[in-house]
Structure 1
């Protein structure tokens, strides 16, 4: 099963694609989708949608997983993040891909074992779980962590009658 993990952001959306076969995970690809910070918001959202549509068409994931929005100190940042997340969910739904949604704390707990883990710890564990994977940056590492979390949850759900 090919799982596309997504870490939504208006400026940069991280993505990571893994293959899960039971408890075995294999890195397939990862990267970042970027929008022009000088463009108006509607244009940026459209650009994010176009890039994600192309990625899904090229990689053909079986399922996807998205990190949930957390509340920032800056309400404007939270709103922009929510809008980018909405685009990500819409594009996946239009491609008829089921999407799992996970809180950041749950992703950290699933990958590191600690819901309060730092980004550096998440990145380090992703490298341990996907040895040799060239990671395109912190957003891509977070996206791979979301994909790993989804793989673990899908495997657990299959074992529970």
Structure 2
């Protein structure tokens, strides 16, 4: 199974693709979609949709796992994050992928063993678990962590 993990953001959306074979989880690809140059928010959403669609066509995941939005103190930021997340979900569903949602706390618990782990801890654990030669960016590491979380959820149901 190939899992596309997505860490949505209105300026930077992280993505990570892993492959599972039984209990083994292997790295395929990761990166970020940057929309910061777009001044029009609608065009940012279109960039997320188009770029994720290209990633799906290239890496052919069988499912998508996406980090659920958290309640932010700034309602405007939370709304923009929700829109970015929606664009990512629609891209995955447009390519007939089932989409699974995971709260950040569950992702961190699965990968780092602590639901309030710092971003650097998540980066370190993702690098270790996937035996990467270098540390992915925070957004890419978060996306890979979501994919790893789905792989574990599928195997262990926790």
Indicate the SS of the match to 1:69.
coil
Aligned to 1:130: 130
Aligned-residue offset at 1:124: 0.9
Contact preservation (8 Å) 1:31, 1:135: no
Over residues 17-63 of structure 1, what are the superposed CA-to-partner deviations in whole Å (9 max), with x where a residue is unaligned?
Answer: 11111110111110001113442111111111111111111111011
- Runs of 4+ residues over 6 Å off in structure 1: none
Aligned to 2:75: 75
Aligned residues: 158
The 1:62–1:106 alpha-carbon spacing in structure 2 relative to 1, beyond 3 Å, is same
Indicate the SS of the match to 1:91.
helix
Contact preservation (8 Å) 1:32, 1:136: no
Aligned to 2:33: 33
Aligned-residue offset at 1:136: 3.8
Q: Any residues of structure 2 matched to 1:18-57 within 5 Å, and which?
A: 18-57=18-57
Indicate the SS of the match to 2:140.
helix
Q: Give the TM-score normalised by structure 1.
A: 0.93
Q: What do you get for the CA RMSD once the two structures are aligned?
A: 1.4
Alpha-carbon separation, structure 2, partners of 1:135 and 1:28: 14
| Structure 2: unaligned runs, 5 residues or longer | none
| Structure 1: unaligned runs, 5 residues or longer | none
Aligned to 2:153: 153
Contact preservation (8 Å) 2:123, 2:137: no
Over residues 95-125 of structure 1, what are the superposed CA-to-partner deviations in whole Å (9 max), with x where a residue is unaligned?
Answer: 0001110000000111111111111111111
Alpha-carbon separation, structure 2, partners of 1:102 and 1:140: 16
Aligned to 1:7: 7
Q: Give the TM-score normalised by structure 2.
A: 0.95
